Structure 1
Amino acid sequence: MKFLVKTQRDMEAVAGNYITEAVPDAEVWIAPMGYTGLVLVEADENAYEKLLEIPEVERVIPVLVETEADLEKIAESAEKIAHLIGENETYAVKTKRRGKHDFSSIDVNRVLGARIKELSGADVNLSWPDKVVQVEIIGDRAYISVLPGEEYRKYTPNKIDARKLFRKLTVVQMPYWGDYKACRKFGEKIGRAAQAFEVKELIIAPKEKMDAFELMEFIKGVKIGQESRYKIQREAYPWKVEKVPVSVWDLYQVVRDKRRNKRLLIITDPKGPTLAEVKEELARDMHHAREVVVFIGSREGIPRGVFRFADYVVDLAPYMTFATEHGIPATLVSLWEVYEEFLRENGKEEKEGE
């Protein structure tokens, strides 16, 4: 039988050589029709396990039906695979098309999916199907398989959506100052990090008068970093992504406003207790808070006078000081870990819009 092997791009030749060694009797086509990241293998069905033992191999798809890359021919293949999907199971058709054709991947999903439903009586589930009908089209050939639900899913029902915490979390970031190039470089990293976590808002908060042009370079960097991450998110995520609002506000006025409006204020600083000491109370308060406001320093810490107004001053890693660009990722990942633990232990689930 045939196997379609997927690798990292430009790793197909390396994988192909190892496949030849592991399965000496196999016929191997590296980068069929010039498409990188693919190896087509024809071998005994027992070769499947041997192929999985090769680290350069990312996926092995056993080909159940090979046919012409023609919409009608592909639809006809349903008769050979429909029996593999039980009436009480769900399925989805997923198509990857390489080359020029007079039909789209969506056309394949629609036509083949309808035919399978007619023959099997199973229901379609595009989010969490029990079976995936995988159609791989390479030039003038189509290779069709029936696979179990994805083994390494990014998004599964048993995972709690971290964005439900970060949507109500505001980051108050002291700006970096000094050399113009350094200001922009650090701004880019902070803008990228804030956008990556899709926080409610990023507030750039100087604690005192500072050079306008240094601040300008820092903000330019934040915009560049945000844009670069936003473009990646739009392509990678199956949901709509919004840009994180970015504003400038005096640090002390942020404290006054957020405290007055009863928001949960968190400062990360080595002078506070460790996260392990306060995690249960902190997680509970984050769960009930309408907004969580996290203050992060830059070059120097948050002013000590502000500590009196914070609900929590937390030391994330005793005897360690984070670099400026690591402040947002280190803090938010740490807060999420204790928050998720709280939700699971207490059987709570955040509801949409909460």
Structure 2
Amino acid sequence: MKFLIKTQRGMEAVAANYIKDVLEDAKVWIAPQGYSGLVLVETEDKDAEQKLFDIPEIERVIPVLFEVPATIEDILSVSEQIAAYIKEGESFAVKTKRRGKHEFSSVDVNVALGGKIKELTNAEVDLTFPDKAVLVEIIGDRAYISITGKEEWKKFTPEKIDARKLFKKVTIVQMPYWGDYKACRNFGEKIGRAAQAFEVRELIIAPKEKMDAYELMEFIKGVKIGQESRHQIQREAYPWKVEKVPVSVWDLYQVIRDKRRNKRLLIITDPKGHSVSEVKENLAKDLYYAKEVVVFIGSSEGIPRGLFRYADYVIDLAPYMTFATEHGIPAALIVLWTIYEEELRKKGDNV
């Protein structure tokens, strides 16, 4: 039996040494044809797959069912044998990873082999959550073909509720950091990155009083730098279009006046507030029905106490702890999402 092992890049030699320890008869090829993060293993041990899974340096163990020359014609030559693994009523997808130079693309393989399997089985193609995945791993002039079930670890699954259901209606009101110019910019970068990471509705930078214009300028520059860097990563990582979070500047007291007047849900995070467990039942319902959720987060100083009476909730995210300025946005939004998700599941709203 042959296995294609995947590891973190640079860890293939470490994994190979452990493989030799647990599979005495194994023939091992490290980084075949120079491709890092891969190990090919051939063994007669019937318990090999489980033994390989017990090595933490190994990320994926792919049993090779078919090995053929790396041409579309040769790959299609085993399509009938592949089709035998897909039962009636199951969905499937062909996923090809191509390494090396070839006269065809990965998409060409997916289309050709996927079409042949559909013709043979009449099974439905599901590129997102297939019951069976046909993996075609091409390394130079050889193609290694495997068939797996549903992935255990996956970013996007039907069971997970999209967190953007909440975050797209959250406005963050962040007091700016002030002081040393370099520190202002550093904190601004972290806050801009955090706001963009959660794709909130808006980030409002809200000084509570007159402050040094150049300190504020450095903070805002930092916000822009942090936002840009995170947005670039999102564009590359997500299969959907990600918009930049709008950023504005507004006096803190005017923000709370305006949002209160327009009946938005106002939440202030402060160590003097109620613990989350005390208010989560009512807060969950209010989060669910709110058109906009406005979360106020302090900086070098907390939110002025005089504003507490205008808030719907003043919550202490972690009693007896005070968060660093750059941790305010992630801590608040993760807590609110946990509460909100419970409410969605109660209502059966998981779309």
Structure 1 stretches lacking a partner, 5+ long: none
Counterpart amino acid of residue 199 in structure 1: V
After alignment, is 234-243 or 118-127 more displaced?
A: 234-243
Alignment of 1:86-97 (within 5 A): 86-97=87-98
1:141 Cα deviation after fit: 1.0
Q: Which amino acid aligns with 2:163?
A: A
User: Which residue of 2 is the match for residue 152 of structure 1?
Assistant: 153
Q: How does 1:37-116 map to 2 (within 5 A)?
A: 37-44=37-44, 45-116=46-117
Q: Which residue of 2 aligns with 1:258?
A: 259
1:158 offset after TM fit, Å? Answer: 1.4
**1: distance between equivalents of 2:121 and 2:93?**
13
Per-residue CA distance 1:154-196 (angstroms, 9 max, x = gap):
2211111111000100101011111111011111111111111
Answer yes or no: is 1:320 the counterpart of 2:332: no
Q: What's the RMSD between the two structures over aligned residues?
A: 1.1
Higher alpha-carbon deviation: 223-232 or 259-268 = 223-232
**Aligned equivalents of 1:87, 1:236: Cα separation in 2:** 34
3-state SS, counterpart of residue 5 of structure 1: strand
Letter aligned with residue 107 of structure 2: I
**Deviation by residue 1:247-303 (Cα, 9 ceiling, x = unmatched):** 111111111111111110000012211110000101100100000000000010001
* Residue of structure 2 equivalent to 1:282: 283
Q: In the TM superposition, what is the alpha-carbon distance from 1:242 to its structure 2 partner?
A: 1.3
1:38, distance to aligned residue in structure 2 (A): 0.5
Q: What is the rounded CA distance, in whole Å, between the counterparts of 1:10 and 1:324 in structure 2? A: 36
Deviations 1:51-94 (A, max 9, x none): 11101000000011111111221222212211000121000111
Partner amino acid, structure 2, of 1:200: R
Alignment of 1:178-257 (within 5 A): 178-257=179-258
Q: Say whether the 8 Å CA contact 2:160–2:350 is kept in structure 1.
A: no
The question of whether the paired residues in 1 share the 8 Å contact of 2:65 and 2:145 is answered with: yes
CA distance in 1, matches of 2:187, 2:73: 55
Q: List 4+ stretches of structure 1 deviating above 2 A.
A: none
* Cα pair 1:65 1:80 within 8 Å, conserved: no
The AA in structure 2 aligned to 1:342 is E
Q: Distance in 2 between matches of 1:235 and 1:135?
A: 24
Per-residue CA deviation, residues 300-348 of structure 1 (Å, 9 max, x unaligned), is 000111111111111111111100010001110011111112222x223
- The CA deviation at 1:350 is 5.9
Work out whether 1:294 is the aligned partner of 2:288.
Answer: no
One-letter amino acid of the structure 1 residue matched with residue 29 of structure 2: W
Structure 2 partner of 1:309? 310
What is the alpha-carbon distance in structure 1 between the residues aligned to residue 185 and residue 99 of structure 2? 41
Aligned equivalents of 2:271, 2:161: Cα separation in 1: 30
Checking the alignment, whether the CA contact within 8 Å between 1:198 and 1:243 is kept in structure 2 is yes
Alignment correspondent of 1:6: 6
The residue identity in structure 2 corresponding to 1:37 is: G
Q: Secondary structure at the match of 1:218?
A: helix
Q: Aligned in 2, Cα 1:350/1:202: closer, same or farther, shift over 3 Å?
A: farther
Deviates further, 244-253 or 12-21: 244-253
SS in 2 for 1:39: strand
Amino acid at match of 2:233: I
Name the CA distance, whole Å, in 2 between partners of 1:68 and 1:178: 65
The alignment partner of 1:273 has SS state of: strand
Q: In the alignment, which residue of structure 1 is the partner of 2:18?
A: 18
Pair 348,258 (structure 1): closer, same or farther in 2 beyond 3 Å:
farther
Q: Which whole-Å CA distance do the structure 2 matches of 1:130 and 1:83 have between them?
A: 14
The corresponding residue for 1:132 is 133
TM-score, reference length from structure 1: 0.97
Distance 1:264 1:93 in 2: 47
Q: Secondary structure at the match of 1:134?
A: strand
> What SS is found at the alignment partner of 1:233?
helix
Provide the rounded CA distance (Å) in 1 between the counterparts of 2:43 and 2:247: 56
